């Protein structure tokens, strides 16, 4: 079987993602491999597909039990025999599993690193032939990485103990250049093919917010996103997890907690509820999430700042693994720094390790205070070359807040640090500038320096914000230890001497919201913009019933993006369904007919002209930058949206615009919404002729809410269509 054939049959894809094919071909040609690929970049396929084609078994070393179960379930669903060995198996199950492995029942075996030193497991491995050992989350082997695990040290010894050295492939999403070097050395990869596809996750919108009341901000955010959106909220302590879970439940949000102080049974139960979509919000410490394979997490919120950039990148990266745009919001407050330093101080660390942890924490603090592109700050940390200054899709690049001159304030702060002999931290400097009569200030004699009290009209928070901005921009240094001291840098003199000005964005209250299907307040868009939302909801219901029956997460059946493609193209038979991304032969055999029958019945009930819809899809996809108009000798690109707008300007009705543009009326509505969001004036009242219908629809919306169309439709007479409802929803929005 060729690799492209295996890709389509088992996984339902026609093409590889960046880097996947090179790694797979390298492994199949007999080379070790090292893959540094972002979360959601398709690392698992890089060892799962070779496992199908290699002669003998593949061993996958994975750190978390939950990941093993999800991966094994998914592999068995696509016809790849897989199993796992971990602590969840009782003795009888373990004995049976070992016998099955000896009898070559499986192609892939997942194992926890803690098992590698077990004599039972070692004997088993030397009784079978192993073609490949794949190491997931390989950064855990480095003592200088952010998530070192002692059990990973067993991996080289395990590989060397096998009768015949197998191929070895290591994968991770989070590794600096130093950690990558250490991975290669410790595992002793032999002439590996190395693929580093980059650390950028274009579908993630990163933002940092500094709300005065975190809980109120969180409630406001959750009330303005669809209730069906799945999200993770990270907290730094177990106490905060428990408190926040209780408060959200009191506010009628379906939320569950997860932390290391819970029993393993309770943790597993809560995690399964989240994975299976029984609850939409999980509030957790960093004990949750490594390797969690839920693709449709629409937002990750850090209620508290994590310990370093690597942790933040990995935890935030649990959003949007399906490629759909999702939000990563970091809530910052100065107390978070104090908490993280306390955690560092409570650990038994070597001086070198402690210094590194303080440096890594400081990088994240600087990240929280920069005005520059947040995406670029992340990429710089991992040593990636930047392509542009403005990504156009992070909180800072989207923020159009006013830039204010803070040069004079900066000069006062720098001068105070200089006159205090650069011997104190931010807290003492702030107290001095505000004219505090604190005992320590008087004891140190700081009330006698000329800068004492020169910023007494400023709040402590304002001065601290400016100090941290100066640090993030390199105008101030800060010693990286438990008692950090502010130090002037060479750049400080440019500010003090008035050679350079410094600006900072005026703090605004940001409220970023996830797309709620009606497009309200959205900076986040679906990869597939044009799909039948009612059919999509129907297919989600079918998927959920199948997942309940088979006790599998819904995404193991089909990802959302696959259902959206079905809801866009309306496949009517096997060949058409197999053209949908994510539908392979095995999945078609398992439940393809369920979905085809549902789609056919839906099209018949709604009198959908499938061929016309497909013509529109093809026309829309081909209609890129090929419509031009000439005005005064210049050529302007006329987009498909502008062509719709021109018909609207001519005073044509909705159905007439659709007819002349050969589009559906729903597509025309979406075009007009996009135009309104981009600043065009649309008079939605011109499309509403029946005021009685409008009144009935508004009353129904008031009763059942506006989040889902189906409940609204069911509460109205049959002669009111989904299009009528959408039109009134859009009109009431704008």
pLDDT in tens, 141-183: 887 666 778 889 889 999 999 989 999 999 988 777 888 888 8
Residue of 194, 162, 200, 198 lying closest to 181 (CA atoms):
194
Identify the weakest region by mean pLDDT among 104-118, 502-516, 549-563: 502-516
Let me know if 476 is exposed, middle or buried by CB neighbors in 10 A (0-12, 13-18, 19+). Answer: buried
* pLDDT tens sequence across 52-76: 999 999 999 988 776 788 889 889 9
Question: Burial code of 25-36, b = ≥16 C-beta within 10 A, e = fewer?
Answer: ebbeeebbbbbb
Pairing of strands 503-505, 403-405: antiparallel
Which tokens go with 383? Answer: 């040593």
What number is the average pLDDT over the span 466-478? 85
**Mean pLDDT score, 249-262:** 92
Q: What pLDDT does residue 619 have?
A: 57
| Torsional sign, CA 97, 100, 105, 106 | positive
pLDDT value of residue 510:
39
Q: How confident is the model at residue 1 (pLDDT cuts 50, 70, 90)?
A: low
Domain ranges of the chain: 3-196, 204-382, 403-508, 533-622, 640-732
Name which residue leads in pLDDT, 493 or 399.
493
Determine the average pLDDT of the residues in 184-194. 89
Fold of 533-622: DNA polymerase; domain 1 (1.10.150)
In this structure, how many other beta carbons lie within 10 angstroms of the beta carbon of residue 615? 13
Is the per-residue pLDDT at 425 higher than 50?
yes
The answer to whether residues 154 and 113 touch, using CB atoms and an 8 Å cutoff, is yes
Q: How confident is the model at residue 658 (pLDDT cuts 50, 70, 90)?
A: confident
170, 288, 310 from 307: Cα distances, Å? 25, 15, 8
pLDDT given at position 434 = 93
pLDDT in tens, 426-438: 889 999 999 998 8
| Banded model confidence at residue 474, pLDDT cuts 50, 70, 90 | confident
pLDDT digits (tens, 9 = 90+) for 337-369: 877 887 887 777 778 878 888 888 888 988 988
Q: What percent of the chain stands above pLDDT 90?
A: 35
In CATH terms, 640-732 corresponds, of 3.30.930, 1.10.3470, 1.10.10, 2.40.10, to 1.10.10
Q: Mind listing the pLDDT tens digit for each residue in 281-333?
A: 999 988 676 556 788 999 999 999 998 898 899 899 899 988 888 999 999 88
Report which of 573, 648, 663 is spatially closest to residue 609, judged by C-alpha positions: 663
pTM for this prediction: 0.67
Asked if residue 78 lies in contact with residue 11, where contact means CB atoms within 8 angstroms, the answer is yes
pLDDT in tens, 664-698: 787 888 888 877 766 677 888 888 888 888 889 88
Query: Considering only 257-266, 382-391, 525-534, 562-571, which range has the smallest mean pLDDT?
Result: 525-534
Identical topology for domains 204-382 and 533-622: no
Of 70, 57, 62, 103, the residue nearest 86 (C-alpha): 62
Q: For the CA atoms of 142, 143, 146, 147, what is the dihedral angle to 10 degrees?
A: 80
Q: What is the pLDDT of residue 734?
A: 67
Residue 617 has pLDDT above 80, yes or no: no
Q: What is the largest CA-CA distance in the chain?
A: 86
Whole-number Å distance between alpha carbons of 454 and 446: 12
What would the CATH number be for the domain defined by 3-196? 3.40.50.300
What are the tokens at 71? 């991966």
Looking at domain 403-508, which CATH architecture does it have? Orthogonal Bundle (1.10)
Confidence grade of residue 626 (pLDDT, cut at 50, 70, 90): very low
Residue 513: predicted pLDDT: 37
Does the pLDDT at position 469 exceed 70?
Answer: yes
**Tokens 């400097």, residue located:** 429
Instruction: Work out the pLDDT band at 621, boundaries 50, 70, 90.
Output: low
Mean pLDDT of the chain: 84
Q: Across residues 209-222, what is the average pLDDT?
A: 89
User: Is the pLDDT at 525 greater than 70, yes or no?
Assistant: no
Lowest-confidence segment of 390-399, 569-578, 638-647 by average pLDDT: 638-647
Q: How many separate helices (H) and strands (E) can be counted in the chain? A: 33, 19
Report in angstroms the alpha-carbon separations of 445 from 8, 450, 674.
75, 11, 62
User: Hey, is 630 helix, strand or coil?
Assistant: strand
Q: Does 204-382 carry CATH code 2.30.30.30?
A: no
The answer to whether 36 touches 173, Cβ cutoff 8 Å, is yes
């Amino acid at each position: 079987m060729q690799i492209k054939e295996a890709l389509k049959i088992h996984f339902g894809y026609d093409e590889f993602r960046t880097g996947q094919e090179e790694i797979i071909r390298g492994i199949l040609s007999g080379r070790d491999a090292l893959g540094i690929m972002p979360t959601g970049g398709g690392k698992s396929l890089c060892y799962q597909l070779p496992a199908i084609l290699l002669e003998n078994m593949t061993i996958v070393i994975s750190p978390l039990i939950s990941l093993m179960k999800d991966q094994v379930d998914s592999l068995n669903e696509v016809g790849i025999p897989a199993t796992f060995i971990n602590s969840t198996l009782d003795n009888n199950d373990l004995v049976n599993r070992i016998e099955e492995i000896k009898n070559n029942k499986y192609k892939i075996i997942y194992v926890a690193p803690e098992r590698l030193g077990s004599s039972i497991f070692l004997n088993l491995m030397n009784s079978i032939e192993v073609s490949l050992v794949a190491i997931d989350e390989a950064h855990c082997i480095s003592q200088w990485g952010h998530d070192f695990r002692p059990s990973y040290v067993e991996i080289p010894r395990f590989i060397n103990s096998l009768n015949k050295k197998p191929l070895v492939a290591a994968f991770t999403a989070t590794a600096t250049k130093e950690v990558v070097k250490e991975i290669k050395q410790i595992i002793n990869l032999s002439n590996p093919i190395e693929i580093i596809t980059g650390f950028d996750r274009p579908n993630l919108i990163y933002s940092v917010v500094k709300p005065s009341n975190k809980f109120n901000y969180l409630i406001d955010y959750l009330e303005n996103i669809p209730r069906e959106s799945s999200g993770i909220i990270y907290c730094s302590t177990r106490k905060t997890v428990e408190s926040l879970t209780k408060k959200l439940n009191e506010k009628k949000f379906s939320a569950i907690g997860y932390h290391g102080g819970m029993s393993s049974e309770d943790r597993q139960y809560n995690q399964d509820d989240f994975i299976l979509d029984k609850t939409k919000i999980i509030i957790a410490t960093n004990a949750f999430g490594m390797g969690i394979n839920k693709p449709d997490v629409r937002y990750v919120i850090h209620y508290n700042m994590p310990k370093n950039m690597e942790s933040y990148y990995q935890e935030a990266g649990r959003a949007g693994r399906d490629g759909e745009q999702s939000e990563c919001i970091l809530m910052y407050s100065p107390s978070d720094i104090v908490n993280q330093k306390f955690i560092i101080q409570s650990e038994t660390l070597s001086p070198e390790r402690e210094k590194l942890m303080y440096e890594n924490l400081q990088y994240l603090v600087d990240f929280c205070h920069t005005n520059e592109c947040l995406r670029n700050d992340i990429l710089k940390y991992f040593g990636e070359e930047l392509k542009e200054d403005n990504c156009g899709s992070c909180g800072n690049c989207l923020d159009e807040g006013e830039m204010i001159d803070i040069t004079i304030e900066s000069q006062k702060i720098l001068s105070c640090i200089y006159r205090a002999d650069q011997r104190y931290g931010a807290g003492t400097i702030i107290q001095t500038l505000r004219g505090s009569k604190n005992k320590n200030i008087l004891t140190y004699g700081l009330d006698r320096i000329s800068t004492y009290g020169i910023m007494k009209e400023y709040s402590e928070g304002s001065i601290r914000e400016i100090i941290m901005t100066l640090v993030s921009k390199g105008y101030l240094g800060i010693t990286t230890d438990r008692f950090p001291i502010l130090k002037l840098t060479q750049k400080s003199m440019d500010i003090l001497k008035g050679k350079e000005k410094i600006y900072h964005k005026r703090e605004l209250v940001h409220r970023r919201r996830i797309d709620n299907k009606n497009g309200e307040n959205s900076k986040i868009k679906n990869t597939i913009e044009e799909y039948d939302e009612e059919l999509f909801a129907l297919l989600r219901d079918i998927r959920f019933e199948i997942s309940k029956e088979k006790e599998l997460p819904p995404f193991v059946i089909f990802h959302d993006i696959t259902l959206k493609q079905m809801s866009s193209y309306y496949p009517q038979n096997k060949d058409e369904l197999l053209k949908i991304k994510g539908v392979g032969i095995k999945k078609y055999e398992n439940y393809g007919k369920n979905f085809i029958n549902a789609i056919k019945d839906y099209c018949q009930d709604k009198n959908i002209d499938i061929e016309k819809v497909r013509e529109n899809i093809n026309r829309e996809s081909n209609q890129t930058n090929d419509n031009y108009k000439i005005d005064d000798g210049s050529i302007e690109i006329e987009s498909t949206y502008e062509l719709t707008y021109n018909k609207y300007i001519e005073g044509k009705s909705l159905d007439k615009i659709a007819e002349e543009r050969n589009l559906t009326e729903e597509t025309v509505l979406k075009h007009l919404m996009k135009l309104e969001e981009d600043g065009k004036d649309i008079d939605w009242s011109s499309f509403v002729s029946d005021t009685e219908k409008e009144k009935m629809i508004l009353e129904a919306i008031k009763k059942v809410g506006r989040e889902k169309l189906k409940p609204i439709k069911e509460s109205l007479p049959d002669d009111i269509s989904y299009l009528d409802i959408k039109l009134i929803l859009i009109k009431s929005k704008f």
